[in-house]
Amino acid sequence: MDNQKQLYYVNLNPISMDNISLTEVDDGQLIEYEISATEAEKEQLESLIREVHKHDVELGNLLSFKHFDDLTADADKDEFQTGMNDIYEEIYRLGTDETKQKVSEIHLQNEDDNTPGL
């Protein structure tokens, strides 16, 4: 397996958030995070993003009417937020200095992590 790191660009736009690209998108409206990762690390992040994307209430439950059940909707939102925090932590870990700065400005705290922010 190739352990050589390469630069990739991650955007968390809900429509294309599972698309990690070798090419930076020239769009001032889009927030991209630059990471340096091996192919295995990239694939692991893509897998995490796909898993979290399943818990997105707006996309995942739109046609199932689960979003009308408050308990299910709240659980889905919590699961989604925890997953997004995990994604940001992984982006921070793999990120370039600029990416680490962007992510640390968000001040995330994951419930299963005792340290505030990243």
DSSP 23: S
3-state secondary structure (DSSP) of residue 97: helix
What tokens does 13 get? 């736009």
Q: What is the pLDDT of residue 69?
A: 56
Q: In the chain, pLDDT over 70 holds for what percent of residues?
A: 65
Predicted confidence (pLDDT) at residue 83 exceeds the cutoff of 60 = yes
In 12-106 the beta strands, taken as DSSP E runs, fall at 20-21, 32-37
Q: What is the pLDDT of residue 73?
A: 60
Helices (H), 1-118: 39-53, 57-60, 70-94, 97-104
18-62: per-residue pLDDT in tens?
678 998 887 777 788 999 999 999 999 999 998 887 766 454 455
State if pTM tops 0.85. no
